Chain A
Amino acid sequence: MFRVYKTPKPPPQPSAAQVLAGLIAQGATDLLGIPDNASAALFDLASSDHRVRCLTVTREGEAFAVAAGLWLGGRMPVVSIQCTGLMESGDAIRGTAVRMGVPVLCLVGYRGYAKMLRAGIDPGSVPADHGELQRHDVDSAAVHLLPTLGAWAIPYVFLDPEREAESIRAAWVRARTEERPVAILLTAPLAAD
């Protein structure tokens, strides 16, 4: 078992088991990426679940290329990374999942989300002042996330803590219908049980 870090007052999130069940119900075959605090319990669970194959990559951009290859070969992968890794993945997302039209679901750990809210910053806003990106009480990874997804034309949804299966289903329907990557944002760690 891996350690799962706990935030002091995490917003309610579904359990990793519920999310994994939701992914498998939609046909997920592989979970790729790098665990973060939000997804650690999911990787822990998936690594011992014979229904999905779990692969840890060395850098997040790889996950999208591997996912594209898996899809070419007939499988239905899910990528799970932190938002910092999503930003690192820019050209891999553009050149594989987007350019090839791969319907891949991407769980994104929204690092710094609660901190950003406490600082009074609207998650969807583009920083008007460069100083906002250097404030000690704000995680710039959070501030950059939604503007980055918007710039890269990646649709996203927040994981609904009370209807996680529907969140996953709706995101995957969109990914498949529009043949593109779709992100599901995790604003707090998934519960380990």
Chain B
Amino acid sequence: MDFASIFASLRRSALGPVLIGLQVALTLAILLNAAGIVQQHVHRMRSASGVDEANVFTFVNRWVGAPSMERSRSMVSRDLAILRATPGVQAAVCTNGVPLAHRGWGTRVDTRPVDPASQGSLTRAQLYVLDEQGLDALGLRLQQGRWFTTEEAAGAGQSGSGFAILTRALADHLFPDGHALGKLVYTSPRGNLVVGIVDTLQASSPGDPDVSLEVAQYSIVLPGKMAQQALNNYIVRTKPGALQAAMMEAERRLRAADPQRVITEFKTFAETRQDSYRANRALTTILVTVILLLIVVTALGVAGLASYWVVQRQRMIGVRRALGATRLDILAYFHAENLVIVAAGVLLGVGLAITLNTQLVKAGVPRIDNVYLWGGVVAVFLTGQLAVLMPAMRAARVPPALATRSG
């Protein structure tokens, strides 16, 4: 290809190509940074909760008139008995929080006794209190060790009965050597023996962009029969396919046993997931829309300007054709010209993207990785080539006879 003549003609009418190059550069800079944010959120939204989501439903139960602690305990046991006897129900627990549901407790965890006065920062983790049915009710996957026994669950309750189960992520964080089982972990001055490790059990707000996805996997489970006076969270797992029927029947039975209760947040886990990530979904939709529009506008701009150039240079094309240039030559000429302009834009754009990125990293935008960088560059080149295709084909159809005409 005769690049010399391309440069010569670009120099003659410089501003148009410069503007297109600038536009390509800005497009690439925005594209690369925005795509990183989208990818980060999609990664969060796709992360597994650890719960058997297809077969679990949850709800919040409130009593009327603040019953005593003892009465609350007995009512929770009665409700659990009702739920566990409902046809289609596999297991049920009353707990202090629900993964993804924005309801739960946080705690500090360490490998040494937790002393409030000492210095240094501690690991924060989600705290779940679950009884012997917890593993089955959430459908968690036990990776190592065992779950709590009935005796352990009936023990001290909230303060911890000396046993704990960790998620793999938390276990590896606290014990980098990989041997957490049989060690002691502390959420208070008293130690808890790690008896089991579950694959995954996410925290209550894994979509929160201020908390890394890694930290959202840090959960510790302590054994106990959870019962609170004000409100209680129930998690129920049904046999496959029985979810809808079991939900209706469970609610009917609970209300029959005590009509003076208020049940809220009565949702399948799929709904909980849907609601949990709404803010993430809104943001990614906004960004993806802007990215797509950006590409469309840039493509239209390239196409618009190219078709104008074709009209402007009709005589030049005619002369070239008359002097023996084939249609393919003309097509190649316009594509090569686009390649030169876009390449200059890409060069500037990559520099701009990286400069922008180093600033934006402080605001939580991820670093641009190489795959995205190359993906973005290829996308921009392809967009440019596609956009110029139509005008170039029109140019190729210019008859050589045009050279002889004036105007």
Partners in one complex: no
Residues of chain B having any CB pair with chain A under 8 Å: none
| A contact residues vs B (CB 8 Å cutoff) | none
